[in-house]
């Protein structure tokens, strides 16, 4: 999962892009990058690390210009090297930089075609670089010295025909403008907003509406599936539908885990959706154990707090913060390697014994992926004095890998894959395990926007809506995402990056 932002302004964009990426930091903590444009030149800074660490004062001073894009990345399979930090750049045609959130399911095929047919070289393992080169080739094939808006939209239309999977994209065509578009299923989010200044109208495109809010932009709307938004450097905005058969199937896991609660995705309030998740969990408790003995409901901070609070309210029991979170530890399910994740759980959370002692505690988390965190947390609750430890997940069992931009583990490493709820309960050591039903979860997010055709729910039911994900692809993904493979690649990239730093240290 990544965060993207693009801006066409009437003044320098560096600070606004920085602020937007900081607000989107929850979408990626592995690498960050910004590229700007002025006087027919682009200015790029990107590296591994958090936004605050990648961009120092000297870097910000060098990012001049009124047009720019930015990106934050979280670690995905094989992408821990700083060489794969975004935005990516190609010099032909015109000079194009691109930031991408999602995953192309036919990236290997495209990479081969780019080399053999389009005569383009791919320098990394990133599908984002593949997507950039597809877009660049299609724009170059038009063969104009000065591309028009119709030319840009034609290139996007060709991208839709060639690329499969999920993608929300922001690209800057040097000297011409910024283009943003979503895949024809609208799996990954993107929206745009406007800000009026004394100098004129400014536009921002971003993954989440909170980035617009932080910059003082007013949300106009979400980019429709298959649609492209093109903003010329003078602030002129154009929109066009570029897909033949668009349909809106956004990723349901965005509402469960990734998006900030104060954001709006496809007209659905993430906060309100999570409140409803808590209500439906409470309803399930009442159905299954109307005589429950829950003394207190506690969230596993932070994503589940909204659902846990509403669950406690509906059950008429106390809501308490039983764990204090160290905010300087990253999200554990996307950390490479089992050893690192287990260590991080204890570093990340510390229990308040007073809230646990001699109580029957219902712990609420947004989801259960590997189960590593749950196992450790249940044990911590017992050590803190809880009589019984119940565990509720605001999401259904995660049984299948994600292929659309969330680097979930291999299927064999998902705790729910091939197991019953009773078996999972025993593995994590809980006295009772409660999962959200998929139909209830869908209902929590479906009654606001009638234009939503359905939801991308593959991690829960194994149904991949693009129709091109088969057993061979999943087998290859299993090998790629296994912990053993990740740890070997992490070790290799650490050595490679240390060599690069020794030779090219600009700090």
Which of these is catalytic: 2, 191, 242, 251?
2
Is 488 inside any structural domain?
no
Q: Does pLDDT of 399 surpass 70?
A: yes
Cβ–Cβ under 8 Å, residues 205 and 178:
yes
Is 202 inside any structural domain?
yes
pLDDT digits (tens, 9 = 90+) for 249-277: 999 999 999 999 999 999 999 999 999 99
Return mean pLDDT, the chain. 91
Does residue 2 have an active-site annotation? yes
- Looking at the structure, tell me whether residues 205 and 277 fall in a common domain: no
Is 259 inside any structural domain?
no
pLDDT digits (tens, 9 = 90+) for 492-506: 554 444 443 333 334
Separation CA 376–CA 357 (nearest Å): 18
- Looking at the structure, tell me whether residues 412 and 353 fall in a common domain: yes
- Looking at the structure, tell me whether residues 91 and 237 fall in a common domain: yes
pLDDT digits (tens, 9 = 90+) for 222-241: 999 999 999 999 999 999 99
- Looking at the structure, tell me whether residues 241 and 276 fall in a common domain: no
Q: Is 365 annotated as a binding residue?
A: yes
Query: CA distances (Å), 376 to each of 29, 329, 337, 428, in order?
Result: 23, 16, 16, 8
- Looking at the structure, tell me whether residues 160 and 54 fall in a common domain: yes
Task: Say how many domains are in the chain.
Answer: 2
Is 266 inside any structural domain?
no
Over residues 354-365, the mean pLDDT reads: 97
**CATH code of residue 179:** 3.60.20.10
- Looking at the structure, tell me whether residues 157 and 277 fall in a common domain: no
User: Sign of dihedral through CA atoms 307, 25, 240, 127?
Assistant: negative
- Looking at the structure, tell me whether residues 282 and 240 fall in a common domain: no
pLDDT digits (tens, 9 = 90+) for 44-90: 999 999 999 999 999 999 999 999 999 999 865 545 567 789 999 99
Is 503 inside any structural domain?
no
Question: How high is the pLDDT of residue 507?
Answer: 44
The range of the structural domain enclosing residue 298 comes to: 271-324+346-448
Question: How high is the pLDDT of residue 502?
Answer: 33
- Looking at the structure, tell me whether residues 428 and 297 fall in a common domain: yes
The contacts of residue 207 (CB under 8 Å, 6+ apart) are 2, 3, 4, 5, 24, 27, 101, 168, 188, 189, 190, 191
- Looking at the structure, tell me whether residues 278 and 241 fall in a common domain: no
- Looking at the structure, tell me whether residues 198 and 235 fall in a common domain: yes
Confidence of residue 348 (pLDDT cuts 50, 70, 90): confident
Is 474 inside any structural domain?
no
Is 427 inside any structural domain?
yes
3-class state of residue 37 by DSSP:
strand
- Looking at the structure, tell me whether residues 198 and 145 fall in a common domain: yes
Q: Is 468 annotated as a binding residue?
A: no
- Write a three-state SS string for 94-113: CCEEEEEEEEECCHHHHHHH
């Amino acid at each position: 999962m990544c965060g993207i932002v693009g801006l066409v302004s009437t003044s320098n964009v560096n600070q606004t892009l920085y602020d937007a990426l900081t607000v989107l930091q929850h979408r990626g903590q592995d690498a960050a990058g910004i590229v700007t444009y002025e006087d027919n030149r682009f200015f790029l800074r990107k590296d591994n690390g958090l936004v605050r660490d990648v961009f120092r004062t000297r870097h910000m001073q060098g990012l001049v210009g009124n047009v720019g894009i930015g990106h934050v990345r979280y670690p995905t399979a094989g992408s821990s090297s700083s060489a794969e930090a975004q935005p990516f750049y190609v010099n032909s045609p015109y000079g194009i930089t691109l930031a991408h959130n999602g995953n192309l399911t036919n990236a290997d095929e495209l990479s081969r075609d780019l080399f053999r047919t389009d005569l383009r070289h791919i320098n990394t393992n990133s599908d984002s670089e593949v997507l950039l080169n597809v877009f660049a080739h299609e724009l170059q094939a038009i063969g104009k010295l000065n591309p028009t808006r119709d030319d840009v939209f034609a290139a996007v239309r060709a991208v839709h025909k060639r690329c499969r999977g999920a993608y929300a994209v922001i690209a800057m065509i040097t000297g011409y403008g910024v283009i943003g578009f979503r895949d024809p299923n609208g799996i990954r989010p993107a929206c745009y907003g406007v800000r009026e200044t004394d100098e004129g109208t400014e536009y921002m495109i971003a993954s989440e509406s909170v980035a617009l809010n932080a910059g003082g932009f007013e949300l106009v709307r979400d980019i429709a599936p298959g649609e492209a938004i093109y903003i010329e450097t003078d602030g002129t905005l154009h929109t066009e539908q570029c897909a033949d058969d668009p349909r809106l199937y956004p990723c349901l896991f965005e509402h469960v885990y990734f998006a900030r609660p104060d954001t709006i995705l496809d007209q659905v309030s993430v906060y309100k959706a999570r409140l409803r998740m808590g209500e439906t969990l409470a309803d399930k408790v009442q159905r299954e154990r109307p005589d429950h003995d829950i003394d207190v409901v506690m969230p596993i901070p932070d994503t589940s707090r909204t659902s846990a609070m509403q669950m406690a309210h509906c059950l008429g029991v106390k809501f308490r913060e039983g764990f204090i979170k160290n905010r300087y530890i990253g999200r554990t399910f996307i950390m490479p390697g089992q050893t690192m994740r287990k260590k991080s759980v204890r570093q990340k959370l510390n229990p308040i014994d007073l809230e646990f002692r001699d109580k029957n505690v219902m712990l609420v988390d947004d989801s259960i992926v590997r189960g590593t965190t749950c196992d450790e947390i249940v044990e911590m609750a017992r050590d803190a004095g809880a009589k019984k430890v119940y565990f509720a997940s605001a999401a259904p069992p995660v049984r299948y890998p994600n292929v659309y931009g969330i680097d979930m583990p291999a299927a064999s490493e998902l705790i729910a894959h091939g197991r019953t709820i009773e078996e999972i309960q025993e593995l994590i050591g809980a006295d009772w395990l409660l999962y959200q039903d998929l139909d209830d979860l869908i209902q929590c997010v479906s009654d606001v926007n009638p234009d939503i055709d359905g939801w991308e729910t593959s991690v829960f039911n194994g149904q991949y809506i693009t129709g091109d994900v088969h057993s061979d692809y999943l087998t290859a993904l299993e090998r790629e995402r296994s912990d053993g493979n990740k740890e070997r690649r992490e070790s290799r990239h650490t050595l490679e990056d240390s060599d690069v730093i020794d030779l090219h240290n600009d700090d």
